[in-house]
Amino acid sequence: MPESGQTWRKAFKGEAIEAAHVRLWTAGRVTHPDAPAVANELYIAILGSGAPAIEMELSTAGTRIRITAEGPDQLTVLHSHGPGWRIVDGLSTKSGLTTDGRGVWALVEASR
């Protein structure tokens, strides 16, 4: 039986104040306690690249939640694996760069 899920997307301004909105938006859609913190760190990673807007995406499938943050330009190593990456790495099952190099993603396992 295939897993079903949902996907939500929202663009946020590339401003530090928006990080709080990213956390609230994430918490309002998924119940995993670590998801807002992971979304925050991914957003901050893209914000650090100077992106004027950041596209956030939450996708669920079965017990998994994929969180993605993407900007308009290619990321440098600093922005894709900077200081917040330790938080992402500690709270997620897997993480990495999007295939086009403009974003970062993390996979967290939902509570059963």
Any idea where the domains of the chain sit in the sequence? 7-109
Per-residue model confidence (pLDDT) at position 4:
73
57-112 pLDDT, tens digit per residue, is 999 998 999 999 999 999 887 766 767 888 999 999 999 999 999 999 999 997 54
**This prediction's pTM:** 0.91
- Cα separation, 93 vs 105, in Å, equals 11
Q: Which of 45, 38, 40 is nearest to 18 (CA)?
A: 40
Per-residue model confidence (pLDDT) at position 3:
64
Topology given in CATH for the domain delimited by 7-109: Heat Shock Protein 90 (3.30.565)
Q: Rounded mean pLDDT of the chain?
A: 91
- Cα separation, 20 vs 53, in Å, equals 15
